[in-house]
Every structure is written in C-alpha cells, then in structure tokens.
Amino acid sequence: MATSADLYPSRQGDSEALLPRLDPVVYSTANTPLGESQCAFYRDNGYLIFPGLLADMVAPLRNEIGKLKRDLRGCEELVLEPDSNELRTVFNPIAYSTVVDRCFRDERIVAVARQLLGSEVYRMQSRINIKPPLKGRAFSWHSDFETWHVEDGMPRMRALTAWVMLTENHSHNGPLYVIPGSHRQYVSCAGQTGTDNYKTSLRQQTLGVPSPQMMQRVLKNRRIKAITGEPGTLVIHECNLLHASPDNLSADARSIAMCVYNSVENAPQAPFSGLPPRPAFLSSRDTTAVRAIAAEAA
C-alpha cells in the first residue's frame, strides 16, 4: 500500500491543533444537477438538505430493517447501543439488501456526489442508524474524515455522506447537529489509536473527539444547526464537517440510512495510525466506481 505525507496528522500524542484545510470543498465547476447557489451553500456551510426528495424510498427501506436484523444476527455488522442491548447501527446494508443497494445507486444521489467530488465515486461505507426511542444514545462531536484518515488511510478531504431520513427527525429524537463552516479547518485530536479501536468506537467514540477546550474555540464564532425534516429528506454532509447528535429522549425512533461516497481519485492508503486498516464492512477499499441507476428505474 502506498503512503504519502500525512497532511492531516491526528492522535499523535497529547497535543490538539486547528490546522488549515488543504483541499477544495466543491471539486467540480459544473452547475448540474446542483446550481451555483447550492454549490456555494455547500462550500460555505458543508451540508445540503433536500426536503422530501426521496419520499418514495422510505417504506421500502424501513421494511428492510427487520430482515437485516434477522439475517445478520450475531455478526459484527450489528452494533448495539453503549448502555443497552438495543440495536444502534447496521453496517454495510448495501451488501445484504438489494433495496438498500439500489437506493444508494440512485442517480438523484450519485449525480450530486459526482458533481461535488468532481469525479466518479465509490461507496466506502453504508449504514442504517436506528436511534431507538428513549434508548438511542448521543454521538460526540467529531469529523468523519479524522477517523477515515487515521484508521482507514483516506488521504484527502474528497468524500461526503448522503443520508435519508427514514422517520421524522425532530428536535427531541436526537437529530444530527452540525457546525456550519467547521469543515474549513481540521481539528487534529489528541490520543493514540489502539488496535481494533473500531470494536468500541462504533458504540461510543472517544478518540477523534475534540476536547471541550477545543470545542469552545471552534464554537466561538459559530452556531450549531439541528438538521430536522420529514421522512424522505436527503442530507449531504462534507467529510470534515463537525457533527454530533444528542440522546433520543422521545418515544419516536430517529432512523436514517446513510452512505459514504469517496472519489475514485482518493483511494485509501495505509492508515496513518500505522495499524492495519479496518474491515471492509466499515470501510471498503474496493474503489470500483458505483454504477448509477436512473431515478425512475431505481
């Protein structure tokens, strides 16, 4: 596996730092399917919301959850909540469900990913997050890129996550919080990655989580935005955008299906932690471009 210089060092001891972003946010100058103002919004804020765009997918996707739970019983792909035996996440559903696979080949999503990343894309990770009523626990502030860089060897910031709301995401069921604009700097975190960190980090992440002092700095001139919406809403967020979510204190699940698209020109290298890469169900190293399906046929 090739290795290039580490432009985004993290977890290299006790120090934390805010480092400059060295990569573009919008890689293409095309103005379709997103128009200029949507590209500018994404460049400045690091996310986009398309209310109700994928409403047709909600029922089929929700129907898959029970089947995936049964089929993957006892497998590593099923991750439980940190303090109960409730299901938190199903990993790699595109490998086990044709419905989920087709959803994340849908042209309405793939065309946006290709445009923003300025190339063909491959699907690096997919998951369904359940956030069960009353028991769904918080995710701490983090940048996904930090983990993917350190643990998976993703060299540059040229990836994004697309996710679909499968239930209403409202203010009380643990919606995603983002810090608009935070993707324009990189938080280099303290710590040292241990072997098989993923075995605990997916239930509760402790590495790659900026300290309260660092979050004070980041939030000084920024606000937090809660992303809420109806089922079928599509959200795209940039790989280095700081995000978190609170506990689900309501009686409603907050479930989403998500997929990470990485540019085929940003193939993973040896992880910058120096450890072996995480298993393929968390981070695929097969960079074959995704074959899109036209929206009407998907």
Query: What are the residues binding ligand 6CS (CB under 6 A)?
Result: 125, 139, 142, 144, 147, 202, 205, 282
Binding window for Fe ion (CB under 5 A); candidates: 136-144, 151-159, 261-269, 290-298: 136-144
Q: Among residues 38 and 125, whose Cβ is nearest to ligand 6CS?
A: 125
3-state secondary structure 5-25: CCCCCCCCECCCEEEECCCCC
Q: Among residues 120 and 156, whose Cβ is nearest to Fe ion?
A: 156
DSSP letters, 173-242, are: S-PEEE-TTGGGEEEEPPB-PPTTTHHHHTTS--TT---HHHHHHHHTT---EEE-B-TT-EEEEETT--
Neighbouring-strand partners of residue 176: 227
Shortest reach from residue 243's CB to Fe ion, in Å: 6
53 binds, among ligand 6CS, Fe ion, none (CB under 5 to 8 A by kind): none
Shortest reach from residue 52's CB to ligand 6CS, in Å: 25
| Binding status of residue 152 toward Fe ion by CB under 5 A | no
Shortest reach from residue 139's CB to Fe ion, in Å: 6
169 binds, among Fe ion, ligand 6CS, none (CB under 5 to 8 A by kind): none
Residue type, 160: L
Q: Among residues 244 and 267, whose Cβ is nearest to Fe ion?
A: 244
202 binds, among ligand 6CS, Fe ion, none (CB under 5 to 8 A by kind): ligand 6CS
Q: Among residues 49 and 111, whose Cβ is nearest to Fe ion?
A: 49
Which one, of 186, 161, 121, 158, lies nearest residue 26 by Cα?
158
Residue type, 205: Q
Neighbouring residues of 297: CB distance < 8 A, sequence distance ≥ 6: none
Q: How far apart are CA 77 and CA 24, in angstroms?
A: 33
205 binds, among ligand 6CS, Fe ion, none (CB under 5 to 8 A by kind): ligand 6CS
Q: Please answer whether residues 18 and 184 qualify as being in contact, where contact means their C-beta atoms are separated by less than 8 angstroms.
A: no
Shortest reach from residue 245's CB to Fe ion, in Å: 9
Neighbouring residues of 10: CB distance < 8 A, sequence distance ≥ 6: 146, 149, 150, 186, 187, 188, 189, 208, 272
User: Which of residues 64, 144, 146, 238 is near Fe ion by CB under 5 A?
Assistant: 144
Binding window for Fe ion (CB under 5 A); candidates: 26-34, 35-43, 138-146, 205-213: 138-146
Q: How far apart are CA 265 and CA 73, in angstroms?
A: 35
Shortest reach from residue 282's CB to ligand 6CS, in Å: 6
Give the binding site for Fe ion (CB under 5 A): 144
